[in-house]
């Protein structure tokens, strides 16, 4: 794909990409913007290339997911290097950010990360379980398991059966 085609694809999927970046960044808008910009640069500079093994949207979401993970590792490394007490303090997942009063958002935050990811990809981004598996780099069976378990836990959380 040449640069004009890539730009068109990025523009076409920008809103969904930003939503996915937000999900990958624990709803931190500033971090999601940084991750999305870094993802776009990777794509436009040719460091991430579409190979046609999946849909463009699935590939794009995979690039965003990996870029968000890289950013989390960089931030964790910087935090540990600059904070001599980091080893003593427990590290929290970025999904533990202030959640507000929305019971669905709160319940989603209580799910295991892979369960939360697959549910977000299927329900919010409209991907199939097969495409979600490709984004997450897991087998379709693993994605289905996380999907089913995530839905069950989400139901229990929303019914207040789980503390």
Residue range 98-163 forms a domain whose CATH class is mainly alpha
Give the fold, CATH level 3, of 1-91. Rna Polymerase Sigma Factor; Chain: A (1.10.1740)
User: pLDDT tens, 18-49?
Assistant: 999 999 999 999 999 999 999 999 999 999 99
Task: For residues 101-124, give the mean pLDDT.
Answer: 88
Residue range(s) in the chain whose domain bears CATH number 1.10.10.10: 98-163
Looking at the chain, the whole-number percentage of residues with pLDDT higher than 90 is 60
Tell which wins on pLDDT, 132 or 73.
Answer: 132
Mean pLDDT of 66-77: 87
Burial class (CB in 10 A: 0-12, 13-18, 19+), 29: exposed
pLDDT of residue 98: 44
Q: CATH 1.10.1740 in the chain, residues? A: 1-91
pTM (two decimals): 0.66
- pLDDT-derived band at 7 (thresholds 50, 70, 90) equals very high
Judge contact between 42 and 48, C-beta under 8 A: yes
pLDDT at 85: 42
Q: Is 80 helix (H, G, I), strand (E, B) or coil?
A: helix
Question: Of 105, 112, 101, whose CA–CA distance to 153 is shortest?
Answer: 112
- Asked if 107 contacts 157 with a C-beta cutoff of 8 angstroms, the reply is yes
**What percent of the chain has a predicted confidence (pLDDT) above 70?**
83
As a whole number of angstroms, the distance between CA 135 and CA 17 comes to 12
Mean pLDDT of 82-108: 55
């Amino acid at each position: 794909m040449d640069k004009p085609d890539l730009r068109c694809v990025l523009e076409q999927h920008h809103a969904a990409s930003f939503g996915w970046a937000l999900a990958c960044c624990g709803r931190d808008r500033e971090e999601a913007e940084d991750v999305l910009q870094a993802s776009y640069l990777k794509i436009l500079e040719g460091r991430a290339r579409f190979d046609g093994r999946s849909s463009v949207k699935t590939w794009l979401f995979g690039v965003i997911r990996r870029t968000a993970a890289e950013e989390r590792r960089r931030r964790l490394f910087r935090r540990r290097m600059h904070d001599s007490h980091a080893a003593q303090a427990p590290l929290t997942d970025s999904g533990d950010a202030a959640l507000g009063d929305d019971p669905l958002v709160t319940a989603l935050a209580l799910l295991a990360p892979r369960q939360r990811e697959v549910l977000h990809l299927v329900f919010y981004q409209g991907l199939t379980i097969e495409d979600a598996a490709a984004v997450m780099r897991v087998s379709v069976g693993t994605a289905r398991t996380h999907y089913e378990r995530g839905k069950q836990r989400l139901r229990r959380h929303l019914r207040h059966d789980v503390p």
